[in-house]
Structure 1
Amino acid sequence: MRTMPRRLEKGDTVGIIAPSSPPNLENLQKALPFIEGLGLNIKMGKSVEAKRGYLAGSDDERLADLHSMFEDPEVKGIICAGGGYGAARYADRIDFGMIKENPKVFWGYSDITFLHTAIGQYADLVTFHGPMLASDVGKEEFHERSGRMFGQLFGPFELHYTEEIAPLTALVGGAGEGELVGGNLSLIRSGIGTKFELDTKGKILLIEDIDEEPYQVDEMLNQLRMARKFEEVAGVVIGDFKNAEPKKREKSLTLDEVFDDYFKDLKVPVVKGFKIGHCEPHFSVPLGAKARLDADALTLTILPGVE
């Protein structure tokens, strides 16, 4: 059972960091009133405005921000400004013992998936897969429902995903229970063969991605299959795959055909269509929390991520 971070309260300070690529600073500024509207104070990480090519400053700078926000007793939660690429570059230097001693809310997705897996498996902490400030909150299309999902940080309540949000399709029926793990498929795949390889045994696996053609999703799922990540999984939650249209290949399988090839013969529940990922609304979830996927009722129930 992973440690749950303490819930946030009005008046708390949250740290904002850019663990991967440089965020759009204009969008970031537009997002800050939303955080302040939740009753939270803001502390900016030092590397948020730094740039080193496609990285928000050097690996040392980004790692220092991550460490300092977890160590700072004034900071009660950490929200990522954006994703992109680069979190994995320093993952092997993270002080997981220190994070374990200072459990707090950690929120982001996309490239942050690598940090979710690392922190979950080595610091035993529940973390949150949810929209980020510059990438999502600061944009005009940010959905009210996406904003409401931040409420789960302020009190322990169960999350219930039903077809009221968006249509769901069961590829395999039945029900399964386990910790919810995963996130961005590209980042799950990039951890295979490293000490940060995702443990899916007895877990509900969440996958989502963006800008990957069907053949690329196929290739990633095949690597997960050959790494035996589907053999003892308790269920599969297929989130949003934005812009997954074939571009290079005139003749292509559809994304649905790819999912059928990899999942329809599994003996555990598999459901697709969840608005989790690079989409609006974006249903935020606590990774490492206990979940129940019911493919017959087309529901996903997740226990609270904070205490």
Structure 2
Amino acid sequence: MSLLKPNRLHIGDTVGVIAPASPPNQKILRKGIEFLKGLGLRVKVGKSVEKINGYLAGSDEERLEDLHAMFLDSEVKAIFCACGGYGTARLAANIDYELIKANPKILWGYSDITFLHTAIRQETGMITFHGPMLGSDIGKEDTHTLSKQGFQQLFASTKISYTERFSTLETLVEGIASGELVGGNLSLIVSTLGTPFEIDTNGKILFIEDVNEEPRSVDRMLNQLKMAGKLKDVNGIVIGDFCDCTPNRELTLTLEEVINHYVLWANKPAIRGFMMGHCNPHISIPLGAQAVLNTNNKSLIVESGIE
């Protein structure tokens, strides 16, 4: 499938805010929306963003309607997800992918949004953006400047160059890998297996991150990826932040031991330590863009995700 890059943003553009998963903290979201306005953008908020249906921001139909409406609205140039949580996978089978393909635009989010990233990319070829969200990150008082600076890649064609100026990086397997950058939250990646939206890792650079998962849970998920052939197929592995993934039992493997076991088995170029995921700062990246992972200089270079 040919690569589909959304158009860049300009000062004065209108952008949309939706909640395709869980209901956001409204106070934090309001501050996040003010951040977008501070970038010179106008903001439209989806109808279901303030709705609460248990752990969902409204019904599946309401959240899906917001997603479709924002892609269909010619005035809206980008779509930002308010928060993650749970629920985007419930929408995937009913998304109008032809509508999205005919109206490509920036889609931004992470965590539970990983399922949307994967489904939309594989059904349309469109690049999407893995970055901090308005109602769970950007609207907080302690949000790092680097997390906010990541939004600038939406206004100008810019390569992402992640080196040790951002964080200490550790090489697990040496080498140079190139390919399309895919992945995101490990739990959501695994949840695509056996579905029509099963992640394709063949010839790709796989990025993984997660939050609040014990080492044994990370072990289970990586083992499932291994048995599904997803680690064998990759060109390289980018290991992001695994926030609060600590054991609550005495007899355990460490998170490092678990990750090392599977990465060393895959034997593809791999680096750990990227501040990408449930962390502060959170460095934003375009998923679906071409990337190069180089252990010689400990870097990840990602092509611009916009036209």
User: What is the TM-score with the length of structure 1 in the denominator?
Assistant: 0.99
Q: CA deviation at 1:141?
A: 1.7
- Matched letter for residue 240 of structure 1: D
SS of residue matched to 2:22: coil
Q: Shift of the alpha carbon at 1:265?
A: 3.1
Alignment of 1:142-291 (within 5 A): 142-247=143-248, 249-291=249-291
Matched letter for residue 306 of structure 1: I
Structure 1 CA distance for aligned equivalents of residues 233 and 32 of structure 2: 40
Structure-1 separation of matches of 2:273 and 2:83: 24
Amino acid at match of 1:267: N
Q: Describe the superposition over 1:123-172 as per-residue Cα deviations: whole angstroms up to 9, x where unpaired.
A: 11000000000110011121001100000000111110001111000110
Q: Tell me how far apart the structure 2 counterparts of residues 232 and 134 of structure 1 sit (CA, whole Å).
A: 35
Deviation string, structure 1 residues 62-106 (Cα, Å, up to 9, x no partner) = 000000000000000000000000000121000000100000000
State the 1:295 CA deviation: 1.5
For 1:305 and 1:147, how far apart are their aligned partners in 2? 17
Q: Does 1:12 align with 2:2?
A: no
Q: Offset at 1:53? A: 0.5
Which amino acid in 1 is paired with 2:236? G
Runs (4+) off by over 6 Å: none
Q: Shift in Å at residue 32 of structure 1?
A: 1.6
| Cα RMSD, aligned residues only | 0.7
Do the aligned residues in 2 keep the contact of 1:210 with 1:243 (CA within 8 Å)? yes
Counterparts of 1:190 and 1:268 in 2: how far apart (Å)?
23
Does structure 2 conserve the Cα–Cα contact (< 8 Å) formed by 1:169 and 1:271?
yes
Identity value in percent: 57
TM-score normalized with structure 2 length = 0.99
Offset of residue 266 of structure 1: 2.6
What amino acid is aligned across from residue 56 of structure 1 in structure 2? A
Q: d(CA) in 1 for partners of 2:125 and 2:176?
A: 25
Shift of residue 267, structure 1, vs aligned partner: 3.0
1:246 is paired with a residue whose SS is coil
Q: Which residue of 2 aligns with 1:137?
A: 138
Amino acid at match of 1:19: P
The CA deviation at 1:296 is 2.2
Query: Which consecutive unaligned segments of at least 5 residues does structure 2 have?
Result: none
SS of alignment partner, residue 91 of structure 2: helix
**Partner residue, 2:4:** 3
The answer as to 2:100 corresponding to 1:113 is no
Query: Deviation at 1:251?
Result: 1.1
Letter in 2 for 1:129: H
Segments of 5+ residues of structure 1 without an aligned counterpart are: none
